[in-house]
Structure 1
Amino acid sequence: MNKAEVLEIRKQFTPDRCTIDHICGCYVDGELNKKLVSKKAFGSIPEEEMFKYLDIFKHTLSGVFGKSLINLEFPLEEEQEGGTQEFLLRLRDSHLEDDSLIDEFYDKVIGNLFMEESYYIILVHAIYDIPGMTRDGIEMEDASENIFDFILCSICPVAPSKAGLCYNEKTNEIEDRYRDWVVDGPSKGFLFPAFIERNADIHNMLYFSKKPNDIQPEFIQALFGGRPPMSAPEQKTLFQSLVEETIGEDADYDVMRNIHENLNTMLEDHEEDEVNFELSKEDVKHLLADSGVPEDRMNYFDHNYEEIIGEQEQPLLAMNIANTRKFDISAPNVVIKVDPDRADLVESRIIDGRQCLVIAVDDHIEVNGINVRTFLKD
């Protein structure tokens, strides 16, 4: 899925567009006990409560692709009887009216999800009547040809409200506030099937994790069945290790600056892409070679890639391994922060036999907020 496709589904979670027919819930306490199981027609929920649910569903489809939102394609074997995709398909096709299937789904979540606190599993079913689209991208409400039959799961932490004082209007007193259990925004969730090219794709699902560094591979594997993807922080860490091992001890500052600049150029060139730009093994190899990594060091690349990234190649998202917001240079007792678009201002030179970083200054200099340009001597 891409941004436009996610946005189209997010727009359905408003009172005037919502087509959710059934909602199921399971409250799980800290001891992994099912304290509450519920199922009802979504239209029977009071309006104020409905607004809060719709907000949760919108947040389950929010975030940056490759970080909080991850596209997953089911392995073929998981589409056979007993597979993860086949199970989710049966769950969807039941319109959440089969209690045994719903209970089995709850057990899968509880048995594989790690949460430090209690949590609330919300599962909904909806059918979106997909409107036709003109060549200019304008929706035609009366020209619907297909439907998007889907389930959405949101898993929300539940924690007691903060202790404190409150004003009791009935008694006109300031008193200890009653602490109840509050359902927070979603921390995990998924959409099945995926909505690709404005249609249902039962071979894919969209996974959500509020924290990119906590995607929980075991949980993904239980729902998805395939090899869990690498998280965004993991991709960055492994890429840095790959670069360090390939360049070796004689890492050159100019090479690292070139890698930074070349990665950012790649992102700019693919900024308008609907799908995030991925780097294959060969793409990474060309990136390092084009950035000036010596040929004798590139001979180690294939071995290093298999050792660090793995033999089963997983592409790296450019946005996950590039630093678009900072370009930091650290040395003992010194940290230099440079605008990521102006890494060219810092050069590496040998001066009096010592390696030095030279910073070009064409404007003013400030020290602790004080302009000191006038004190500089030629």
Structure 2
Amino acid sequence: MNEKEISEIRRRFRPDKSNITRIRGCYVNEQREIVTQFSQSLGLMQQEEAEELLAILKKTLSGTIGKNLIDIEFATRQVLEGEEHKLLMALRDSSLEDDDAVREFYGRVIQALNLEGKYLILLACDKYDVPYYAEDGEKQEDSSEVFSYFLCSICPVKLTKPALGYYASENTFRNIASDWIVSAPELGFLFPAFDDRSANIYNALYYSRNLAENHAEFVDAIFKTEIPMPAAEQKETFQSILSETIADDCNLDVVQTVHSELSGLIEEHKTNKEKEPLVISKETVKGVLKSCGVPETRVTAFEEKYDDAFGADMEISPRNIIDTKQFELRTPDVTIRVNPECSDLVDTRVINGVKYILIRADEGVEVNGVNIHIS
């Protein structure tokens, strides 16, 4: 799914927009036991509560594609014969009314998921009359099809801290006792995927809030497929490969060029409003390294390490391995953050045998908020 398709489904999560009438779920304790199950009618809830519940579910479709939102792809054999896919289809086709399928799903999640503390498993089903758009972009009256899907959200339940509250109507202060509240989703998914504004039962859209943890055990249990390493791990792995393989040739110039080239690809992709998410291959990075004059032996070493870590044919999102908003230099004692567009103000030198990081500072220099003069 691309950003536009995800946004279209996100807009559904309002009482006046969706056909979600009921939320099913269960409450799981620290011992991985179901404390209670529920099937809550949104129509019987206060409007504010219904809106809040839909807003929590909506967060399962938030974040960045390739970082928080990952496309899960099923093999053809899985779709035809796989038990995991059959269960997801049973949930979707029954609009979550198949009690046996729902109980089996709860069991698989609880058995596989390694999540500390209490949590809720929330399930919501929606039927979306997908509007048809003419070639000129004008929305038509008739819908082209009905997109039937369900959303799963796994939400930690956390205990708030006691606090002092002020009650204006009584003009008094009173203690507010601690209580259990439903937090934003830690993980979840949408099935089937909404590709080309149509149902794609060969894909699901998976969500993980934490960039350092993708809950691979959950993905394996529910989808029986592998998931790319977490975005934070991709960045750390890429940085490690670059520094180890380029070695003595890994200077400021090389890192600046890699950052600049990848940032340029990201900006171009954004400017052109490309529908599909941007990914790069190892060949892209190899081309940048060669343009910096990195020796062929070093480039070959990079390729081999890349293949070992990511896989020979693995494409990754450049947003996962660089920060377009920041260029950072770090020593054991000092951290310097630079606007990436001004990274050319930074240089490295060896003066009288001592290594230095030099920053051109013409004007506007502050130290602890105080303007200083360099003479």
Give, in angstroms, the shift of residue 85 of structure 1.
2.2
Cross-structure match for 1:280: 281
C-alpha change, 1:172 and 1:251, in structure 2 (3 Å) is closer
User: 2 CA distance for matches of 1:332 and 1:7?
Assistant: 42
Give the structure 2 partner of residue 91 of structure 1.
91
What's the offset of the Cα at 1:178? 4.4
Distance 1:357 1:165, change over 3 A: closer
Aligned to 2:321: 321
C-alpha separation between the residues in 1 aligned to 2:245 and 2:22? 54
2: distance between equivalents of 1:106 and 1:191?
16
Map 1:275-354; keep pairs closer than 5 Å.
275-310=276-311, 313-331=313-331, 333-352=333-352, 354=354
Q: Which residue of 2 aligns with 1:371?
A: 371
Q: Is the 8 A contact 1:120 1:157 kept in 2?
A: yes
Shift of 1:370: 3.3
Cα distance in 1 for partners of 2:113, 2:166 equals 39
The verdict on how the C-alpha distance between 1:56 and 1:346 changes in structure 2, with shifts beyond 3 A counting, is same
Give the aligned partner of residue 194 of structure 1.
193
Partner of 1:236: 235
In the alignment, residue 209 of structure 2 is paired with which amino acid? K
Matched residue, 1:184: 183
**1:41 Cα offset (Å):** 4.6
CA distance in 2, matches of 1:250, 1:68: 34
Shift of 1:235: 0.8
Contact residue 127 and residue 146 of structure 2 kept, 8 A? yes
The total of aligned residue pairs comes to: 373
* Cα distance between partner residues in 2 of 1:268 and 1:342: 16
TM-score normalized with structure 2 length: 0.91
Q: CA deviation at 1:263?
A: 1.6
CA 1:332–1:185 in structure 2 vs 1: closer, same or farther (change >3 Å)?
Answer: closer
Partner of 1:8: 8
- Cα offset for 1:124? 1.2
State which drifts further: 87-96 or 176-185: 176-185
Alpha-carbon separation, structure 2, partners of 1:323 and 1:145: 40
Inter-CA distance 41–256: structure 2 relative to 1 (3 Å threshold): same
2:32 corresponding residue in structure 1: 32
Q: Tell me the residue number matched to 2:152.
A: 153
Stretch of structure 1 that moved more, 198-207 or 68-77:
68-77
Conservation of the 8 A alpha-carbon contact between 2:258 and 2:285: no
SS in structure 1 opposite 2:143? Answer: coil
CA distance in 1, matches of 2:179, 2:353: 68
CA distance in 2, matches of 1:34, 1:97: 19
User: Which amino acid in the other structure matches residue 29 of structure 2?
Assistant: D
Task: Report if aligned partners of 2:25, 2:39 keep a CA contact under 8 Å in 1.
Answer: yes
Q: Secondary structure at the match of 1:65?
A: coil
User: What does residue 221 of structure 1 align with?
Assistant: 220
Q: Equivalent residue for 1:58? A: 58
What letter is aligned with 1:152?
L
Give the Cα–Cα distance (whole angstroms) in 2 for the partners of residues 169 and 259 of structure 1: 57
SS of residue paired to 2:16: coil
1:42 to partner: Cα distance: 4.2
Matched residue, 2:71: 71
After superposition, the Cα gap between the structure-2 partners of 1:170 and 1:300, relative to the gap in structure 1 and judged at 3 Å, is closer
Q: Distance in 1 between matches of 2:216 and 2:249?
A: 36
For each residue in 1:25-63, what CA deviation from the matched residue of structure 2 results, as whole angstroms up to 9, or x when unmatched? 111111111111122554444433322221112212111
Letter in 1 for 2:239: Q
- Residue 118 of structure 2 is matched in structure 1 by 118
Displacement, 1:93?
Answer: 0.6
1:369 positional shift: 3.2
What CA deviation, in whole Å up to 9, does each residue of 1:51-76 have, x standing for no partner?
22211122121111122221221123
The question of whether the paired residues in 2 share the 8 Å contact of 1:28 and 1:34 is answered with: yes
Give the TM-score normalised by structure 1: 0.90
- Further displaced range: 349-358 or 108-117: 349-358
Supply the AA of the counterpart residue of 1:237.
E
Q: What CA RMSD, in Å, does the superposition of the two structures yield over aligned residues? A: 2.5
Counterpart of 1:345, as a letter, is L
2:268 & 2:169 partners in 1: Cα distance? 63
1:267 maps to 266
Matches of 1:283 and 1:77, distance apart in 2: 33
Compared CA separation, residues 181 and 299, structure 1 to 2 (3 A): closer
